[in-house]
Amino acid sequence: MLATIPSPTEGVLWLGPIPLRGYALCILAGVVVATIIAGRRLEARGYARDAAVGVVLWIVPFGIVGGRLYHVITTPQPYFGENGNPVDALKVWQGGLGIWGAVALGALGAWIGARREGVPFAVLADAIAPGLPLAQAIGRFGNYFNNELYGRRTDVPWALEIHQWDSGAGKAVVDSTGQPVVLGTFHPTFLYEALWCLLIAFVIWRISDSGCLRRGQAFGLYVMLYPMGRIIVELMRSDFANRILGLRVNVWVSILVFLLGLGVFLARRKADPDVRLARADDDSDRGADDGVSTASSDTSETATSDEATSTTKDSTD
């Protein structure tokens, strides 16, 4: 059994003068995985696999700007409050990307990219749907490297050890003896959310491949499922957050996003079926028809051959 889950005391790996931040590397890894998945799903639907790369080049910058804007707007105190520094709002590498802003502006970037690549937006959204939560799961480990996104204090066997963190230096604060300062052990809510995202990716992938979804519904399913887990995570967190009627802002936003996803899912009930599945079904039907036709042809040829043989035999007799 685990006593605790240790947290890193360094969030940055230096290659000479070049800093490699764990937070950024996790986000980058998530983007790469999501792009590969989206490319394969686009190709299965009759579009170029490389179109995913062209679209992602629009999604990423829009998503980063949107995520940072959402974070700064909903948590302005560190930047514009007492002792705040507005310049810090630009320091994305220190952490602080709101998923809702990233999804909102990222969707705008996806729409632009889809038009430029000649891919219908609904097809693109469905192709991205399982890869998006998978990318989020990988990206959440960036919070681990920054010693952030943890819940209330706990002594459960999987409790996460958290250090007092210097976000500017990207490492733990040390005491007079040079030892990292430990704040205590907390619920690893970053891990809970990562596991939830992995489950979402699996569910969407299986249901999408079952052929029971219409175009656009896979993405609607993601927009519905993710907020359900996010609400639970938000209620477990103990860090500072602005509140409305006693609830964290992200809880209210999650509720609204869930309703939006439900609306998208229901609105797409009469849309075209999944292109790849429809094509696969048509090919299967054609294969079955060809098989019947071939069998009928073989039977006819056999009958004709038998008649010819019989006629020849009668003539000989």
* pLDDT tens digits for range 56-114: 999 999 999 999 999 999 989 889 988 888 998 888 877 788 888 999 999 999 999 99
State the pLDDT at residue 94. 73
241-269 average pLDDT score: 94
Sequence length of the chain is: 317
Q: Is the pTM of this model over 0.75?
A: yes
- For residue 302, pLDDT beyond 80: no
Contact between 36 and 56 (Cβ < 8 Å) = no
Contact between 68 and 101 (Cβ < 8 Å) = yes
241-263 average pLDDT score: 94
State the pLDDT at residue 283. 46
β-bridge mates for residue 166, sequence order: 171
SS3 state of residue 316? helix
What gap in Å lies between CA 207 and CA 218, rounded to an integer?
8
Contact between 21 and 11 (Cβ < 8 Å) = yes
Q: Which residue has the higher pLDDT, 261 or 241?
A: 261
Contact between 191 and 140 (Cβ < 8 Å) = yes
- For residue 233, pLDDT beyond 70: yes
For 137-182, the pLDDT digits (tens) are 999 999 999 998 899 999 999 999 999 999 888 899 999 999 999 9
152 carries a ligand binding annotation: no
- For residue 2, pLDDT beyond 50: yes
State the pLDDT at residue 282. 45
